[in-house]
Amino acid sequence: MIARSFKTAVRCRTLFLMLLPAFVLVIVFSYIPMAGIAMAFQQFRYGHGFFGSPWVGLANFRFFFSSGMAWRVTRNTFLYNIAFLILNTTVQITVAIMISEIGSKWFKRVTQTCLLLPHFISWVVVSSMAYGLFNFENGLINNTLAVFGGNPIDVYGNPRAWIFILPLVNLWKAVGFGSIIYMAAIAGLDAELKDSAEVDGANIFQRIWHITLPGIIPTILILTLLAIGQIFRGNFQLFFQMVGDNGLLLPTTDIIDTYVFRSLRFTPELGMPAAAGLYQSAMSFVTIMLTNYLVRCVDKDYALF
């Protein structure tokens, strides 16, 4: 048995070597830090260290659930992520299909580059750009409105506006990068299928609907499942840079990550943020297991595991 394993290992040595960096990375950055979960149940003290700090049971979890905000921020996190998921996936697929159907190489490249650019702008810069657009006195929007005699709008004082602004900004930043993967999937489809469909008289929409889309369903499902695994983890950068500590907007924009940061950035206790992180992980774990189970029920081949 062992001899056979060795033989396999030797035969696939190149593959194993290629796997090695990823394997090391996962061990070092994902598995070893997992032991830090223990901190969620400790009152951590440098002097006593990781093994000597006193255990405090569930005390570190109390702050989150006793705040009366747990429901609100969990709901916000979940709903925003659902909105991001649906909006991003739909637009990314549409864009990927459109770009791959375009004949002109030059046009294709320019469009793709323009779409990809926002991905490389940091959230800090995006937030200043947003401030330049939305600020009440000197913002581009209000200045434009003033030229046409309109009344200025107070975006930073209107929590409802951000329910739309945040998904749109997120989409603007994510669409170019996200569509690359779908484009790759489309490029991997058998071109002959499309050609023969064309010869048989299928128009472009029929070709997309019957050939391209079914062909990339596995990719869509895998990416969606991966995104669902992150559904209780908010995009801290997006929310914190765009909204900051603006109390007027928090009812609709406070997510678990920003809430925890705002509560604990001055606290000396390391256990409390660890507890909040564990809560998110546990919620995400349950969601991903459940979704994967449901996908398995429909079609085994589409499930992650």
Partner 1 sequence: MRKLQLLLLAVLLLAFVAACSRDDAPPEVAPPADPTPEATVPADPDPVDDEEDIDPDAIDISEFVELHMLLLGDRPGDLDLVLEEINTHLRANINAEIDISLISLADHTTMYSLRLASGEVIDIIYTSSWAHYPQEAVRGAFRELTRETISRYMPLTYAQQPWRSFEQARIQGRIYMVPANSAPLQGHVTLVREDIRIAHDLPEVVDFETFELYLETIARDEPGVFAHHSSQNNDILRGLIFNTGNNIISLPGAANFAAMRFTYGMTPSSADIYWMPDMPEYREFALLMNDWADRGFWSRSAPADSTMPRDAFENLTSGTFVHNSGTVGVLGNLLGARDIDTLAVDIFPDAYRFFGVYTGDGMAIPMSSVNWQRAMMALDQLKFDYDTFAAFRWGVEGTHWTAVGDRYFRIDNPEAQARYVFGGISWGIRNSIFERTNIEAFRSSTEIFATWTDNRAVYSPVDAFVFDATSVQTEMANLTNATARHQAILDLGLVSDVDAAIAAFRADAEGAGLEVIMEELRRQLDEYFAQ
Judged by beta carbon, residue 155 or residue 175, the one nearer partner 1 is 155
71 within 8 A of 84, measured Cβ to Cβ: no
Judged by beta carbon, residue 92 or residue 241, the one nearer partner 1 is 241
Judged by beta carbon, residue 104 or residue 138, the one nearer partner 1 is 138
Residue 80's nearest CA partner among 155, 154, 170 is: 170
Of 23-31, 86-94, 99-107, 203-211, which segment contacts partner 1 by CB under 8 A?
23-31
Q: At a CB cut-off of 8 Å and minimum separation 6, what does 52 contact?
A: 45
Contacting partner 1 within 150-209 (CB under 8 A): 154-157
The answer to whether residue 245 forms part of the interface with partner 1 (CB under 8 A) is: yes
Residue type, 7: K
Q: How far is CA 191 from CA 98, 101, 282, in A?
A: 16, 12, 43
Contacting partner 1 within 66-125 (CB under 8 A): 66-69
The answer to whether residue 20 forms part of the interface with partner 1 (CB under 8 A) is: yes
Closest distance of CB 37 from partner 1, Å: 12
Largest CA distance in the chain: 83
Report d(CA 92, CA 268) in Å as an integer: 42
DSSP 8-state class, residue 152: P
The answer to whether residue 49 forms part of the interface with partner 1 (CB under 8 A) is: yes
Report d(CA 247, CA 250) in Å as an integer: 5
The answer to whether residue 34 forms part of the interface with partner 1 (CB under 8 A) is: no
The answer to whether residue 147 forms part of the interface with partner 1 (CB under 8 A) is: no
Residues forming beta bridges with residue 42, ordered by sequence position = 55
Member of 40, 115, 250, 255 binding partner 1 (CB under 8 A): 250
Report d(CA 274, CA 41) in Å as an integer: 9
Binding site for partner 1 (CB under 8 A): 6, 9-10, 13, 16-17, 20, 23-24, 27-28, 32-33, 35-36, 44-53, 59, 62-63, 66-69, 127-128, 131, 134-137, 139, 154-157, 243-250, 259, 262-270, 272
